[in-house]
Structure 1
Amino acid sequence: MITRHSLAWLSAEGWQRAALAATADNQATLARWQQEDWPLVLRRREADTPPDELCLGLALPPDGNGDKVRIPLQVQLADVQRVAEPLTLRQALAHMPSGWSGPLRAFAGDCLHSGIALKLYGSWAWQILTKQSYVTANSDIDLLFTPRNAPEFARGMALLAQHAARLPLDGEVIFPDGRAVAWKECWQAMQADSQPRVLVKTESGVGLTALASLVASLEPA
């Protein structure tokens, strides 16, 4: 199943159609992406996207000012040759930037011991996938946490909060129906005395939802 953050590779015909629709400034980038067989990433659907098309995109390494150009694409579903889930944190450990090494190994070890599986997106993922320089001193570690039940959700959130003191951990919690919430916003809501609502991202938009209803959507323990 292809969902937001999934990796997607286009067929030759798909790349050709993407290049025809691209601006002149982006055509060389797309040609290199095709030549290197680098993936695109599924992004949130735009409002006018036909049912048989997908919204994909790629991000270039940051320039001298730290700005990162993102190229959005809209492609036919038939032009997607293969898809894959995002990289796992365990896969990424072999490609750790040196500045994160010790704290990140400790975090990954605690996740393994607690049965928490995390996936990776963002700058570090792009750097691993393309072998280009994306990670800077200001980069976050963007993670996807997909808990199966409420106890796993609680364990994973506690680990993220604990290790965020030493690592720039960012990212989202993905609930069973695909709704996503920034983990930091989830954590803040968990500390509140009231029943707060959180900003939820879906495949096609954003909205506010009570955190309790999201947790209730998880499988029984």
Structure 2
Amino acid sequence: MSSPYKRHSLVWLSERGWQDAALTLPDRHDQHRQHLRRWQANDWPTVVRRQDADCPADAVCLGVALPPDAEGNKLRLPLRVAKEHVHLVQDPLAILNVIPHVTASWRDALQQLNNDVATKGLSVSVYGSLALQALTGQGYLRASSDIDLLFRPLSEQELTDGIHLLQLHAQALPLDGEIVFPDNAAVSWKEWVQACHHPDNRVLLKRSGDVALMRVGDLLAMLNHHEEHQRPTCPV
């Protein structure tokens, strides 16, 4: 069974989970502990990050990202919590859930992107600053902010369709983000566009525990292999 703890997944903690999380912060950072207490009081989620090399199998690595300060600096608090103290895990937000939280200049274009994604039956969700603003009501977005999208194609045709939509809508929206392949390894979609024309080109793959370079051809083979195994078999 696939783990629910994928990068960018949303994780709500129990009271004991927040206590454990606070213990992972350095003692000298009392202000950081205050941030965690505020997160707990508002029942805001943490976000799954890349697993630390020494993280045990029964724990999960999480993060809390604060809104940028007046200078644009972003404080991120790395946490580690036992899985038994996790209250709830959810996938990143659907595009539809964040549309009410964007500026008017983005709203119509983002609604059209959502419509096109739905028409094609694609899996596209939102993470990063826009998702955090929608979840917490705090001011994460700046004039220079991107819209970070997670695109999960289940076939090479979906990959082609999704990349076409991202490139089309990037003409009106500051789109960024990742393609997530069936093993939950992710590639920047902009990097993929630059490299996908030759199977021997390599792209930077972000996995749950590390990063690696992989051939475009190998990633397409993985996608096609997954698609074949998802097809229903005819009864004998």
Name the TM tier (shorter chain). over 0.9
What code does the residue aligned with 1:138 have? S
Alignment correspondent of 1:200: 205
Q: Any gaps of 5 or more consecutive residues in structure 2?
A: 232-236
Q: Residue type matched to 1:98 in 2?
A: A
* Equivalent position to 2:179, from 173, 179, 185: 173
Q: Which amino acid aligns with 2:20?
A: R
Equivalence map 1:58-97=2 (5 Å):
58-97=64-103
Q: Cα offset for 1:101? A: 1.7
| Deviation digits for residues 129-183 of structure 1 (CA, Å, limit 9, x no counterpart) | 0010101111100000000111011000111111112211011100001111000
What is the CA–CA distance in structure 2 between the aligned matches of 1:119 and 1:193, rounded to whole Å?
28
Percent identity of equivalent pairs: 45
In structure 1, C-alpha distance between the alignment counterparts of 2:38 and 2:60, rounded to whole Å: 21
Task: State the partner residue of 1:136.
Answer: 142
Other-structure match for 1:44 = 50
Q: CA deviation at 1:193?
A: 4.5
C-alpha root-mean-square deviation of aligned residues, in Å? 1.4
For 1:194 and 1:78, the matched residues in 2 are separated by: 42
Question: Which residue is 1:15 aligned to?
Answer: 18
Q: Which runs of 4+ in 1 moved over 3 A?
A: none
Alpha-carbon spacing, 1:214–1:194, altered in 2? closer, same or farther (3 Å): closer
* Aligned equivalents of 1:183, 1:19: Cα separation in 2: 35
Which sits farther off after the overlay, 99-108 or 44-53?
99-108
Taking structure 2 as the reference length, what is the TM-score of the superposition? 0.89
Change (3 A) 1:203 1:194: closer
Unpaired segments ≥5 residues, structure 1: none
Question: In the alignment, what sits opposite 2:109?
Answer: 103
Partner AA of 2:214 in structure 1: T
Answer whether contact 2:198 2:216 (CA < 8 A) is retained.
Answer: no
Aligned residues between the structures: 220
Q: Aligned equivalents of 2:131 and 2:162: distance in 1?
A: 21
